[in-house]
A = this chain, B = another copy of it.
Amino acid sequence: MHADNGAAMRERTFTEVARRDQIVRAAISTLAELGYAETSLGKIARTAGLSSVGMISYYFDSKADLMAEVRTTVLAGAEAEVGPRVRGAPGKLAALRAYIEASLEYIAGHTAEMAALFEISSGRRTRVESTEEDIEAVSVRIVAELVAGAQEELGIPDPLDPRVVARAVRGAIRTATAARVQEEGSAHPVDLSREGPRIADLFERSLRFVPDPGGSR
């Protein structure tokens, strides 16, 4: 076997990097267009303008390997946009808002990547490595930290469970994305560029909310 994507790397030639990138991009398009179940190496090769399927096998150990690379690439791209904005936010609540808004903006501008990511995570079951941690689990942990910080920052007397909120936040982002894809032809499609602030508002309200001391619940 020639290709190798393990931990201890050898150098990659320029051609190799370019080819891999070309293939990964073709895979993203294909996944987004056809879905995981209908995506084959042959179709990816055709999308990439490659004459043979063997070419992919040459650069990637297996289909799973390619899928993993797609995942990594897409996640890295998202992190590159979302991460700095979260880290540059003044305070935890602002960071949470930044996370939500940046996520939805990124999603809005990278439909194919997100669709591909979605297809991979829902279409594949066999984990390549144990290190390939679940996207959602990681995201939830990160968001939960922001939520916990924000509630602390706000000094809420009866805080919500950060992980519950975090899962809701992630769910809201995911559902908004999915809705956008599905309502594409609808009369009132979801406008992702406006969705971010609205979702942020929603969660900010729940975090800011102070239970009425004499309230019913």
Contact = CB atoms under 8 A, between A and B. Distances in A.
Nearest to A178: B136
Interface residues of A, dominant DSSP: helix
Interface in A24-65: 34-38, 42, 46
Number of copies: 4
B171 A170 contact: yes
Contacts of A171: 168, 170-176
A124 interface: yes
A202 interface: yes
Contact of A206 (B118, B123, B161, B205): B205
Interface of A: 1, 34-38, 42, 46, 118-119, 122-126, 134, 136-137, 140, 160-161, 163-165, 167-168, 170-176, 178-179, 182-183, 190, 195, 198-199, 201-209, 211, 217
